[in-house]
Amino acid sequence: MAKLQIGIVFGGRSEEHPVSVKSAREVAESLDPAKYEPYWIGITEDGAWRLCDGPGPGWEDGRPAVISPDRTRPGLLVLDERETIRLDVVLPVLHGKLGEDGAIQGLLELSGIPYVGCDVQSSALCMDKTLTYLVVREAGIAVPDFWTLDADEKPEKPLPYPVFVKPARSGSSFGVTKVTREADLAEAIATARRYDAKVLIEAAVDGSEIGCAVLGNGELFASEVDRVALSHGFFRIHQEDAPETGSENAAFIVPADIPSDSRALVRETAKAVYRALGCRGLARVDLFLKPDGTVVLNEVNTMPGLTSYSRYPRMMAASGLPLAEVVDRMVALALEGTAVAG
């Protein structure tokens, strides 16, 4: 059987560039060489596309290459050699802006090449936390009380402190501040606006942070759930100096040490959120489990981290699916989705 020619895109221009490179390295370790012929496409922080041997040191020096949006000449165009490489499927291991927001998905839709993960619409919805909350709330699922500020706007009413101030369209807790008094609000808004002109302010939720990894298109697989046990502050592992050796303030309990009925509720709610937002392929759904046993949505990641310390692969591994099998399933779902669409 011929190997699948898979293009793996990593890096990117968002603040999550280093996380993407680490995720790609884990994928490289897990990719079955008997099944796949990989073509590694790294995007530098300046936005240059490079065809390289893998996400190891020096990948930025690879050959200039881009994915063609022209369906009459589909595939990977190696610019200096005027060569076109056919791709059967693309795995965009990109996090944050221009990776999870529908941008790369739009290019891949134009190309006609099947790709792993959510489509343009669901990627854009999940990247913008305010839109996520509006859609999910309309579906009858609880979300935090929240307020949205566009460029230069200020809150019109007193806020119920504590609140979290966030860039509306960013990830991995970049630009997030917990605010407990009005005197600190303006600085927190300014911090968030370093990452996005649109700012989300949400009321703090009294509860444990719980995650669920979801995989699938029509029929969904929901993983064992995890619990983020915080010693202080809030979860921000991707901004720490050495996350591979453990978090400075968080431990991850998988399976979560919560009652079985709560685990079932988290799984079912995660699948309901996934469906409401039109997700496909994969996503990680983060929720708050309140002391009264109810759940509230936190956020949805449509291309969650796949690093050695990331939550999505940990939860899948606890469910009996190592990353190699998760990758196989993601690729199969991408190809299945194309067949259904055709």
Longest dimension (CA), the chain: 65
The verdict on whether 22 is a catalytic residue reads yes
Angle at 314 (CA atoms; ends 311, 317), nearest 5 degrees = 150
Does the N-terminal peptide bond of residue 92 adopt cis geometry, omega within 30 degrees of 0?
no
> Catalytic pick from 11, 54, 102, 305?
305
Alpha-carbon distance 195 to 86, whole Å? Answer: 36
Q: How many residues does the chain have?
A: 342
Is residue 280 within 8 Å of residue 333, measured between CB atoms? yes
The verdict on whether 19 is a catalytic residue reads yes
The verdict on whether 309 is a catalytic residue reads yes
> Catalytic pick from 244, 320, 340, 342?
244
> Catalytic pick from 238, 267, 271, 314?
238
Instruction: Give the residue among 229, 232, 237 at the shortest CA–CA distance from 289.
Output: 229
**Residue 313: how many other CB atoms lie within 10 Å:** 25
> Catalytic pick from 284, 311, 314, 329?
284
Q: For residue 271, report the phi and psi dihedrals to the nearest 5 degrees.
A: -65, -35
**Residue 260: how many other CB atoms lie within 10 Å:** 8
Is residue 314 within 8 Å of residue 174, measured between CB atoms? no
Q: What is the DSSP string of 231-250?
A: SSS---GGGSS-GGG--SSE
Alpha-carbon distance 31 to 52, whole Å? Answer: 16
The verdict on whether 36 is a catalytic residue reads no
The verdict on whether 143 is a catalytic residue reads no
Q: What is the DSSP string of 27-41?
A: HHHH--TTTEEEEEE
Q: Which two tokens stand for residue 86?
A: 């056919």
In sign, the C-alpha dihedral spanning 298, 300, 305, 308 is positive
Count of alpha carbons within 13 Å of 164, Cβ hemisphere only? 19
Alpha-carbon distance 28 to 8, whole Å? Answer: 9
> Catalytic pick from 17, 95, 169, 271?
95
The verdict on whether 9 is a catalytic residue reads no
> Catalytic pick from 19, 179, 199, 214?
19
> Catalytic pick from 39, 115, 309, 312?
309
The verdict on whether 115 is a catalytic residue reads no
Q: Which residues are catalytic?
A: 19, 22, 95, 238, 244, 284, 305, 309
